[in-house]
Amino acid sequence: MWFRQAVGATLLAGTLAACASGPGGEAFLRPGPQPLPDSRTVGERIVYSEKDITLVVEWLSFESIAWYYKNRPGLVNPFEALPLSSPKPLAFLLKLENRGQETVYFDPQQVSLTDQDRLRVFPLRYEDFYLQLTEEKQQAGTLPSIQASIFSGYVALSPNKEREGLLLFHELPPNSKTLLLELSSFYIGAEAKPLLFTFDVVRKAP
């Protein structure tokens, strides 16, 4: 996949990018019409609820990413040193709450993000960061912060537990208008519940 090939030695210095710019200027994501009946839009968030399971999905701007790390003591923002002109990570915050009777299973490796032209990308993994960070940055606490804050490994959430984390993506083509976030491996107990969330790309006037 072109995404996997694009993750190179300059990962944190510039190849991580959001739909930050394009023909119409800087872009932001807003929830679009949701394809699943159990999902609804609440402000800038998409809320999925079924069988006492709640999943909240929210796109985070670069400023919101900084706020996310700032409000979690002990974590280091791995992107705070990026120059203002550098591309920024495309991030989604997922908050999963299990108040049901069965364990919820979720595999972040089976998540994808697709635009209206069917161009698809996949989340960055912890291993992607580990291979690219210098020893100095590893010792500065960046790697533990990434490991603690992103969804990368398989998740099994027991009843009466909750979990939150980030999904980080590489850039999509600048002409993206609609994005489909697909969680194809999501289970409530033994029942498969593949989830779909749509976002519209809204561009500021240049």
**Which of 189, 205, 160, 197 is closest to 42 using CA atoms?**
197
Is the pLDDT at 153 greater than 50? The verdict is yes
Distance of CA 59 to the CA centre of its chain: 7
* 2-203 CATH fold: Immunoglobulin-like (2.60.40)
- Render pLDDT for 175-189 as a digit per residue (tens, 0 to 9): 889 999 999 999 999
What is the pLDDT at residue 174? 76
- Render pLDDT for 36-65 as a digit per residue (tens, 0 to 9): 999 999 999 999 999 899 999 999 998 999
Q: Which has more confidence, 71 or 84?
A: 71
Predicted model pTM: 0.83
**Amino acid of residue 94:** L
Instruction: Give the residue carrying structure tokens 């960061």.
Output: 129
With vertex at residue 124, the alpha carbon angle to CA 31 and CA 105, rounded to the nearest 5 degrees, is 70
Q: Of the ranges 11-25, 68-82, 91-105, 128-142, which one carries the lowest mean pLDDT score? A: 11-25
Helices vs strands, H then E, count in the chain: 5, 14
* Contact yes or no for 129/155 (Cβ under 8 A): no
